[in-house]
């Protein structure tokens, strides 16, 4: 069946593939269509879009909800509780003989997430008294449902991409970058967090006076509902229509009747052919999975927890520029593996070291808040923005590289991407668990006053 749209050929610097992988690519075709690529990007944007959209509204939510600035702590705890989703899926998928239908499950989750995004638009201000104290119960319950879908995407959505040409995996990670960029851009248009420092007549103290936003939280969430609807339709077109292009319909090991534990990382290496043993050794495979977790611990756990402490002491504009430029750089960096992909564990470790260095600079700036280096000079803010953008770019680039390298040459690409997704979630969880007590319990990071 020919695609009604023109074919666009993407030049990729793929490493030599094994005979099995080459034959698989020959079956599905070596061309990549623009329409399918676009559908994958939009589908990938659903990965963490819903959760990110709530975080972008915190400047308005904290002003109107009873928890105030303790709300982020509640939301962070709810997101971690949602890790029960990927845990449950992983147990069923790998430790039982029951085969979960991937595409229908993804479609149902997307419809569910779209519906609760619409519900959030109208239910977010609802509060309930709990032990005599008002709490935003509706928001917390909806956040849990959204995070349940988003967290599960790491072990469900990404392995689904194994049936497509490897270039589409890059498109998926570009979409993951859009999951933070789209809410960020809408928030900038909304004008959240804009204020002037005004001197009080009675005390002479400078206090922030916030400008009203261009539209409210309800309208913002309706925009996110529109994007989620678009993404849900995009996945339906991607999987259920010819626009999705050819797919490699290959059963995983569990579906073929093998014992469930034979799909584990250790057993995969035992079952590799002699030629593949030379490339995918125990040390290489588990080192790659460790690097995946280590990179995502920084990307999704450490940096988001302290970025405001590192940027806000310079100015509100510095924080917004760092956030927006980082979100723009993330999907762009997702394209970079098409130009260059490290081939050895050593080179990937070096790149990870560079990313860790810039993450360390951000941690240092946050730890020195409210008086970080260069606070009174223009170059201080520029340096902080540079650190944020480079760290975000490196993390996004490495996440895409690791997924490609883990999958390359493997007979069971779906299982490889599944374990890559598991370690992405594990790393993110560990990073968040480390930072939560440091920020919210021990108070090691001090917020800078809005006006001084």
- Residue 277: predicted pLDDT: 52
288 with 373, same domain: the answer is: yes
Residue 407 lies in a domain: yes
85 with 208, same domain: the answer is: yes
The pLDDT of residue 69 is above 70? no
d(CA 150, CA 49): 8
Distances (CA, A) of 131 to 68, 128, 135, 370: 18, 10, 10, 36
337 with 434, same domain: the answer is: yes
d(CA 428, CA 292): 10
231 with 292, same domain: the answer is: no
pLDDT digits (tens, 9 = 90+) for 267-324: 554 454 455 454 446 678 889 999 999 999 999 889 988 888 899 889 878 888 888 8
- Residue 389: predicted pLDDT: 95
Q: What is the signed CA dihedral for 102, 107, 110, 111, rounded to 10 degrees?
A: -150
- Residue 248: predicted pLDDT: 62
Residue 55 lies in a domain: yes
Which tokens is 269 given?
A: 């290496």
Q: What is the CATH number of the domain that holds 188?
A: 1.20.1250.20
The pLDDT of residue 18 is above 90? no
Which of 78, 139, 176, 77 lies closest to 435 in space, CA to CA? 77
- Residue 15: predicted pLDDT: 40
The pLDDT of residue 394 is above 80? yes
- Residue 312: predicted pLDDT: 85
Beta bridge partners of 32: 8
For 232, the enclosing helix (H) or strand (E) is helix 217-240
pLDDT digits (tens, 9 = 90+) for 247-278: 665 444 433 444 444 445 545 544 544 554 54
The residue-averaged pLDDT of 358-362 equals: 97
d(CA 227, CA 225): 5
The residue-averaged pLDDT of 56-73 equals: 80
The residue-averaged pLDDT of 421-427 equals: 90
The pLDDT of residue 433 is above 60? yes
197 with 292, same domain: the answer is: no
- Residue 270: predicted pLDDT: 47
The pLDDT of residue 210 is above 80? no
Q: What is the CATH number of the domain that holds 368?
A: 1.20.1250
Q: Helices 102-123 and 217-240 meet at what angle, rounded to 10?
A: 170
3-class DSSP state for residue 314?
Answer: coil
Which of 326, 324, 312 lies closest to 380 in space, CA to CA? 312
Question: Does 227 or 435 have the greater pLDDT score?
Answer: 227
User: Of 7-11, 48-52, 340-344, 423-427, which range is least confident?
Assistant: 7-11
- Residue 250: predicted pLDDT: 47
Q: Tell me how far apart the terminal alpha carbons of the chain are, to the nearest angstrom.
A: 66
333 with 197, same domain: the answer is: no
Question: b/e map of 56-75 (b: 16 or more CB within 10 Å)?
Answer: bbbbbbeeebebeeebbebb
Q: Could you give the number of structural domains in the chain?
A: 2
The residue-averaged pLDDT of 175-179 equals: 90
Residue 255 lies in a domain: no
Question: Does 129 or 6 have the greater pLDDT score?
Answer: 129
385 with 429, same domain: the answer is: yes
Do residues 347 and 288 make contact, with C-beta atoms less than 8 angstroms apart?
A: no
Distances (CA, A) of 378 to 1, 2, 227, 334, 386: 58, 56, 37, 30, 13
The residue-averaged pLDDT of 214-238 equals: 95
199 with 314, same domain: the answer is: no
Residue 18 lies in a domain: no
H helix intervals, 368-377:
none
Tell me what percent of the residues of the chain surpass a pLDDT of 90: 38
- Residue 402: predicted pLDDT: 93
- In this prediction, residue 110 has a pLDDT band, given cuts at 50, 70 and 90, of very high
Q: Which domain holds residue 371?
A: 279-451
Residue 395 lies in a domain: yes
332 with 220, same domain: the answer is: no
319 with 417, same domain: the answer is: yes
d(CA 155, CA 83): 11
Radius of gyration of the chain (CA): 23
Mean pLDDT (the chain, rounded): 82
Residue 27 lies in a domain: no
Which of 238, 260, 219 lies closest to 95 in space, CA to CA? 260
User: Of 66-80, 91-105, 111-125, which range is least confident?
Assistant: 66-80
Residue 257 lies in a domain: no
Question: Residue 349, Cα to own-chain centre: how many angstroms?
Answer: 21
Beta bridge partners of 207: 198
126 with 202, same domain: the answer is: yes
Question: Residue 196, Cα to own-chain centre: how many angstroms?
Answer: 33
70 with 156, same domain: the answer is: yes
Which tokens is 430 given?
A: 């560990």
Q: What is the signed CA dihedral for 302, 307, 310, 315, rounded to 10 degrees?
A: 180
Alpha-carbon torsion (235, 239, 244, 247), positive or negative: positive
Residue 187 lies in a domain: yes
């Amino acid at each position: 069946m020919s695609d009604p749209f023109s074919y666009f050929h993407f030049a990729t610097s793929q490493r030599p593939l094994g005979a099995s992988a080459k034959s698989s690519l020959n079956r599905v075709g070596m061309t990549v269509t623009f329409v399918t690529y676009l559908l994958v990007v939009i589908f990938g944007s659903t990965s963490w879009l819903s959760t990110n959209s709530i975080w972008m509204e915190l400047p308005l939510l904290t002003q109107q909800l009873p928890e105030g600035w303790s709300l982020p702590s509640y939301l962070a705890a709810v997101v971690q509780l949602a890790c029960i989703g990927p845990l449950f899926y992983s147990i069923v998928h790998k430790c039982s003989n029951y085969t979960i239908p991937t595409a229908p499950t993804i479609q149902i989750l997307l419809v569910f997430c779209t519906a609760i995004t619409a519900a959030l638009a109208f239910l977010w201000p609802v509060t309930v008294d709990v032990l005599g104290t008002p709490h935003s119960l509706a928001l917390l319950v909806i956040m849990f449902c959204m995070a349940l879908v988003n967290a599960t995407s790491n072990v469900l959505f990404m392995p689904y991409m194994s049936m497509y040409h490897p270039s589409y995996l890059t498109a998926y990670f570009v979409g993951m970058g859009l999951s933070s960029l789209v809410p960020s851009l809408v928030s900038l248009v909304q004008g959240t967090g804009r204020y002037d420092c005004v001197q009080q007549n009675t005390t002479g103290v400078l206090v922030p006076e916030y400008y009203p936003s261009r539209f409210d939280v309800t309208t913002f969430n309706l925009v996110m509902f529109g994007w989620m609807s678009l993404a849900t339709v995009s996945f339906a077109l991607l999987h259920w229509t010819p626009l999705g292009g050819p797919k490699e319909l290959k059963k995983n090991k569990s579906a073929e009747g093998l014992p469930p534990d034979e799909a584990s990382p250790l057993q995969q290496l035992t079952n590799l052919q002699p030629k593949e043993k030379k490339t995918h050794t125990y040390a290489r495979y588990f080192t790659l999975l460790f690097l995946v977790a280590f990179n995502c611990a920084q990307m999704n756990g450490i940096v988001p927890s302290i970025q405001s402490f590192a940027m806000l002491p310079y100015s509100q504009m510095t924080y917004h520029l760092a956030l927006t430029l980082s979100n723009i750089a993330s999907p762009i960096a997702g394209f970079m593996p098409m130009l260059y992909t490290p081939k050895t564990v050593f080179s990937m470790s070096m790149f990870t070291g560079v990313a860790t260095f810039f993450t360390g600079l951000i941690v240092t700036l946050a730890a020195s808040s409210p008086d970080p280096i260069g606070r009174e000079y223009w170059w201080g803010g520029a340096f902080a923005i540079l650190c944020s953008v480079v760290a975000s770019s490196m993390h996004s680039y490495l996440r895409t590289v690791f997924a490609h390298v883990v999958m390359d040459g493997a007979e069971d690409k779906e299982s490889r991407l599944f374990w890559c997704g598991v370690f992405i979630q594990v790393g993110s969880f560990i990073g968040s668990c480390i930072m939560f007590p440091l920020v919210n319990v021990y108070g090691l990071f001090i917020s800078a006053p809005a006006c001084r």
